Amino acid sequence: MIELCNVSKSFAAATPAVSDFSLKIESGAFFVLIGPSGCGKSTVLRMINAMILPDKGQIEVHGQDIRETEPEKLRRGIGYVIQSAGLFPHWTAADNILAVPRLLKWSPSKSAARLAALVAMLRIDPALLKRYPKQLSGGQQQRIGVARALAADPDIILMDEPFAALDPVSRGELQQEISGIHARSGKTIVFVTHDMDEALLLATGMAVMNNGRLIQAGAPASILLAPADDFVRDFLGGEALQLRLLDLVPVRKLMKPGKTGATGTIAAEASLKTALNLMLASRRMSLCVADESGARLGEIHLSDIVARRDAR
Amino acid sequence: MPKVHDRVLLALFSLGIAVVFFGGFLNNAPNRLAMGVAYPLSQAPALEAAAAMTGLCGLGLLSFARRRKLRSFATILAAALILWGSLAGAGHFAALLMKAGPPAARASLGPAFWTLASVAILAIVDAVQRGNFSFPARLCIGAAFCPGFFLMAAAGDFDSLSLAREFWNNRGIFVSELLHHLELVCAAILFALMIGVPLTVLVMRKKAAAGFVFASLGILQTIPSIALFGVLIAPMSRLSELLPLLRGLGISGTGPAPAVLALTLYALLPLVRGFYTGFSEVAMEVKDAAAAIGFGWRRLFIEVELPLALPALISGLRVVTIQAIGLASVAALIGAGGLGTFIFQGIGQYALDLVLVGAIPVILLALLANFIFEMLLGLARRNL
């Protein structure tokens, strides 16, 4: 668990970077800090591993004030991923991944076993391990960067716009990877982004920030359904807000058992947005819903999507 | 019209031809002071002159050769022919002239000789670079020329040349002055490092101090070297008068102490600037990531910053070393010794060949230092 209490931080500028910020992040959450650039979200993230010390307030990790732990020791227990990967250019990919185990003086056999596990987990091509960062593509570099953050198996991982500089394909792949790792491992991930689609795809909890202040925190759906103010509403996408909401609801929720002979097929776990997209593309008013094995479960109708109650 | 594949070779060939036809190959004077008579290459012994001309024309023809590897090898052979022709030609020609002339007569090397030798060396350097020879191959090529030169010297081929005579007359003190020179350079670099490293730390830590430090070092750098050497005499002699301890260490207004001090001052700006640039250019996000995953500042410095800045540090040291090797020649003016001794003696006695006895080793030392630092740089950049 991570808890920030009334935290403030000012740099040289007149306006504080973060002011009176309080937030509680439960263990196992995929928590996304979102807001426009310069809103202080990265500062909040960097205060969690003591890279930036707050002027006021208190930060606790696992119930302990971070000022009571030696910063190096604290940071070795918290994974960290930044936008440009920040790999060491003079180390091979394998050495980069094992940076923290080396700091923790793991035995070579333990390190080798962990490396093998990470390579499998993140589906890294073993041929890349001997290469230097400049010989890797941006996506490959960030995959190594994520592996480095996971190397010593920390409970908490901080990610500062990790996928913002990647091409859409690599970004999508890595989002899937990290989402899967979170689901399987139950690690706490604190993730900074300014990309609302990314946030909605990954988050189990979310905090919207502006001008160094926390505007609204909660589950993504509750924020989408009840934006606290105009800023949040605009930031969530203004007009497109309704479409974003469709992204959060699976087809299963609005499915009906009817058998009117709808033709196109959609998976039960797909989002309503995918369903709507498919209806528009195939010019159908209804779709047939199937489970993973392809067995027919029921139908979904355009009228039900339009009339669904959570939208209001 | 055949196509020119190597413009460098063609240019070297044209330069060589022009100077061979219009410049003297050997200068023959009845004594050190008298004006001499310039003899062209065509009057040198026929075999050697023909070899040099064949090699030179070979370079001209090779500039039309298409295959790069073959051209590189042939160029090295042609250049070797030029080198042998001009060296042996000058030596044997001088021996002939000396036999006929008075005992005080001098045969000094003329512009045609120097041009031919430079053309040959430049052609070899160019060929080695274009041929993409591996490092050991380069070393072998370089090494192959040295025994040739020393064999010719041992056989007495150069004994009649006044350059060789000047060298021979000064052979007793040559080695000690060479060592003196190296001592001055090494001491200056050592002191520059002792002052420069803390200065680098200062300018890295306090950006406000950086402007002041660089401005002061910049002003030092603009003082002409002879002036700085001279200016230091007064305060240094005063110091040694006041402090007997310093006097006991051999520190006085003239001699090695002020020379080392001046060389150190000159070394500081390039050294600190090189080091500062090196450390500043280590990517911020790499340092940031290292700190964020738990590197302490000491590990961060030793394992991340130092290796990443190393190429720039070596480049800085290279500039400083080569500069110090050249500047140390001036130190002879204030009695610090070194190879400059021959240069200033030569100027004083109007013996240009004596000047060369000092100048050529200085150039060779600088080239050697450059070569060594290139090698270190290659090692440091291996994984970057």
User: ipTM score of the complex?
Assistant: 0.80
User: Which residues of chain A lie closer than 8 angstroms to B383, CB-CB?
Assistant: 89-90, 132
> What 3-state class would DSSP assign to A220?
helix
* Residue A51 φ then ψ, to 5°: -70, -30
Domain count, chain B: 2
What is the pLDDT at residue B134? 75
Q: In whole angstroms, what is the distance from residue B131 CA to residue A99 CA?
A: 41
B358 assigned to some structural domain: yes
Which chain A residues touch B281 with a CB distance below 8 Å? none
Among chain B residues, the shortest Cα distance to A96 is held by: B290
- The confidence score (pLDDT) of residue A311 equals 44
Report the distance separating Cα A246 and Cα A305, nearest Å: 8
Query: Which of B288, B293, B301 to probe the A interface (max A CBs under 10 A)?
Result: B293
For the beta carbon of residue B336, count every other beta carbon within 10 angstroms: 25
Residues of A with CB under 8 A from a CB of B: 46, 49, 51, 72-76, 79-80, 82-90, 99-100, 103, 132, 148-149, 158
Query: Which of residues B120, B153, B169 is at a domain's end?
Result: B169
Q: Report residue B227 as tokens.
A: 């002036």
Q: What is the 3-state secondary structure (H, E, C) of A226-283?
A: CCCCHHHHHHHCHHHHHHHHHHHCEHHHHCECCCCCCCCEEECCCEHHHHHHHHHHHC
User: Which one of B169, B193, B211 terminates a domain?
Assistant: B169
* Same domain, yes or no: B149 and B72: yes
What is the pTM assigned to this prediction?
0.78
B286/A contact by beta carbon, under 8 A: yes
Dump pLDDT digits (tens) for B26-71: 888 887 777 788 898 888 888 999 999 999 999 999 988 888 888 8
In a domain, B14, yes or no: yes
Say yes or no for a CB contact (<8 Å) between B286 and A87: yes
Quick one: B274 and B129 in the same domain? no
Do A83 and A40 touch, CB atoms closer than 8 A?
no
Residues B187 and B233 in one domain: yes
B145 burial type by CB count under 10 A (0-12 exposed, 13-18 middle, 19+ buried):
middle
Q: Are residues B24 and B125 in the same domain?
A: yes
Cross-chain residue pair A148–B304, CB shorter than 8 Å: no
Residues B230 and B305 in one domain: yes
Residues B269 and B132 in one domain: no
How far is Cα B274 from Cα B285, in angstroms, rounded to an integer? Answer: 21
B75 and B217 co-located in one domain? no
B208 and B64 inside one domain: no
CATH number at residue B374: 1.10.3720.10
Decide if B1 is inside a domain: no
Q: What is the β-pairing status of strands A78-82 and A156-160?
A: parallel
- Contact at CB, B289 and A86, closer than 8 angstroms: yes
Q: From A105, A54, A44, select the one nearest A76 (Cα to Cα).
A: A105
Cβ-proximal residues to B310 (8 Å cutoff; 6+ apart), any chain: B278, B380
- For strand A30-34 and strand A205-210, is the pairing parallel, antiparallel, or unpaired? parallel
Q: Are the Cβ atoms of A149 and B291 closer than 8 angstroms?
A: no
Of B144, B169, B194, the one marking the end of a domain is: B169
Judgement on whether residues B278 and B220 belong to the same structural domain of the protein: yes
* Nearest residue in A to B285, CA atom: A86
Containing domain of residue B245, as a range?
Answer: 172-381
Beta bridge partners of A30: A189
Residues B136 and B176 in one domain: no
Domains of chain A in sequence order: 2-244 (3.40.50.300), 250-311 (3.90.1280.20)
Q: Which of chain B's residues have a Cβ under 8 Å away from the Cβ of A103?
A: 293-295, 299
What is the pLDDT, as a whole number, of residue A233? 85
Q: How far is A284 from chain B (nearest CA, A)?
A: 51
B247 and B364 both lie in a single domain: yes
Where would I find the beta strands (DSSP E) of chain B? 26-29, 37-39, 106-109
Residue pair B23/B116 in contact by the 8 Å Cβ criterion: no
Task: Evaluate whether residue B2 is within a structural domain.
Answer: no
Mark whether B203 and B225 lie in a shared domain.
Answer: yes
Compute CA distances B245 → B190, B232, B241, B255, whole Å: 22, 19, 10, 17
Is B343 contained in some domain? yes
Q: Is the dihedral of CA B325, B327, B330, B334 positive or negative?
A: negative
- Which of A43, A103, A142 is the best substitution to test chain B (most B C-beta atoms within 10 A)? A103
pLDDT, tens digit only, all 312 positions of chain A: 899 999 999 988 778 889 999 999 999 999 999 998 888 999 999 999 999 999 999 999 988 899 998 999 999 999 999 988 889 999 999 999 999 999 999 999 999 999 999 999 999 999 999 999 999 999 999 999 999 999 999 999 999 999 988 999 999 999 999 999 999 998 999 999 988 888 888 999 999 999 999 999 999 888 888 888 888 888 887 667 777 778 778 888 888 887 766 678 888 888 888 888 888 888 888 888 888 887 888 888 888 888 776 543
Give chain A positions within 8 Å (CB) of B293: 75-76, 79-80, 99-100, 103, 148-149
DSSP-assigned beta bridge partners for residue B37: B28
- Identify the residue whose tokens are 């990443």: B308
Chain B nearest C-alpha distance from A160 (Å):
11
B208, part of any domain: yes
Question: Do B285 and A99 make contact, defined as CB atoms within 8 angstroms?
Answer: no
